[in-house]
């Protein structure tokens, strides 16, 4: 059965390793008959969560902060699967991805007043380092967040040792990302 898939990227470097991972995933997903929507958070004006707990206070809007997050809302509210894509910066996700992802709190299982149809997710990471410890914090945060949201993990693909924009072309992570897309 075809699914609608949100691919949420956080890299501020177009055409880089993370972008190529996202595109490989999209190729795989679309070859399996799924519909994808790519949202590049790094090129949007999305502020972080303020922790005000005013989610849905208007009854119709998920957040009181009016910014480009509202371009992402239709995808959040119509997709069954979310794929998060980020390079690792200082042991974590990019700030651009984190700002967008934090706003998913409005859809949280306990506090959220409206649910999203998203029930599963995946994670694609790229990093210049080759040490697993460099991305473990981000992977752990991802797993904790999806557990909170009640989503199933479909997989994590990590491209290690990719610094220059084209390094991922010599890495097996592209094939793994495409295979993950086909497997959804």
Q: pTM to 2 decimals?
A: 0.96
4-183: CATH class: alpha beta
CB 9 within 8 A of CB 38: yes
- Residue with the bigger pLDDT between 111 and 177: it is 177
Express each pLDDT in 29-56 by its tens digit. 999 999 999 999 999 999 999 999 898 8
Q: Where are the beta strands (DSSP E) in 103-144?
A: 120-127
Q: Which of 92-96, 111-115, 145-149, 178-182 has the lowest mean pLDDT?
A: 111-115
| C-alpha 31 chain-centroid distance | 20
How far apart CA 48 and CA 3 sit, in angstroms, is 29
Rounded to 5°, angle at Cα 158 from 21 and 174: 35
Asked if residue 112 has pLDDT above 80, the reply is no
Q: What is the average per-residue pLDDT within 57-78?
A: 93
Query: Where in the chain are the domains?
Result: 4-183
Q: What is the CA radius of gyration of the chain?
A: 16
């Amino acid at each position: 059965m075809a699914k609608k898939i949100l691919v949420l990227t956080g890299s501020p470097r177009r055409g880089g390793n993370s972008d190529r991972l996202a595109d490989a995933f999209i190729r795989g997903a679309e070859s399996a008959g799924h519909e994808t929507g790519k949202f590049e958070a790094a090129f949007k004006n999305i502020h972080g969560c303020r922790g005000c707990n005013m989610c849905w206070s208007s009854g119709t809007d998920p957040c009181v902060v009016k910014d480009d997050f509202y371009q992402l809302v239709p995808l959040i509210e119509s997709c069954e699967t979310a794929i998060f894509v980020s390079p690792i910066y200082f042991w974590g996700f990019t700030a651009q991805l984190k700002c967008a992802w934090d706003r998913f709190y409005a859809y949280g299982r306990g506090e959220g007043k409206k649910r999203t149809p998203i029930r599963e997710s995946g994670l694609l990471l790229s990093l210049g380092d080759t040490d697993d410890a460099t991305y473990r914090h981000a992977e752990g945060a991802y797993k904790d967040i999806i557990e909170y949201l009640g989503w199933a993990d479909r997989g994590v693909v990590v491209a290690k040792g990719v610094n220059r924009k084209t390094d991922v072309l010599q890495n097996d992570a592209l094939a793994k990302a495409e295979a993950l897309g086909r497997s959804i």
